[in-house]
Amino acid sequence: MARPTPELIDALRRTARNLKNGAPYQWGHMGGCNCGNLAQELTKLSKDQIHRYAMQRYGDWNEQVDDYCPTSTLPVDLVISEMLSAGLMLEDIKHLEKLDDRAVLMRFPVEERFLKHNVRDDVVAYMNAWADLLEEQLLEKITLPVFNLELIDQEVVY
């Protein structure tokens, strides 16, 4: 599962909002699909740039991830590297394209877990649920300092 970073959580929410508000969505387009839309938010590249980069190598996002090389200078590998630096893991990219990460799906009622990977509303719901999950994980890591109440009650003299 992805590292819960504020950048990734925010990008997931922005992507979901953009899709809900009518951003171009086309599951068969490498820059306009589930991963492509998130990649746009994380990289600030256009859907056409992402698609063009991906077409320099064969395959969909699953195959691009399988062939990913962190030392490559292929543009699609640079896009994937930027996505990973935001907190994603390679498997997360695959799960996003198919909307099939079990931890995310468990957040839905049983009757709503059968998301269709190429339906805009399902992608929006999945990204929002994933962002909520990551935010909860991030908040669990935050520890607030414990204050000594006896010191707080004492009068401070300057």
- Give the tens place of pLDDT for each residue, 55-99: 998 889 999 999 999 999 899 999 999 999 999 999 999 999 999
| 3-class DSSP assignment, residue 64 | helix
- Look up residue 86 and give its DSSP letter: T
C-alpha–C-alpha distance, residues 99 and 62, integer Å: 12
- Kindly report, residue by residue over 96-141, the tens digit of the pLDDT: 999 999 999 999 999 999 999 999 999 999 999 999 999 999 988 8
C-alpha–C-alpha distance, residues 31 and 24, integer Å: 9
Q: How far apart are the first and last CA of the chain?
A: 51
pTM over 0.75: yes
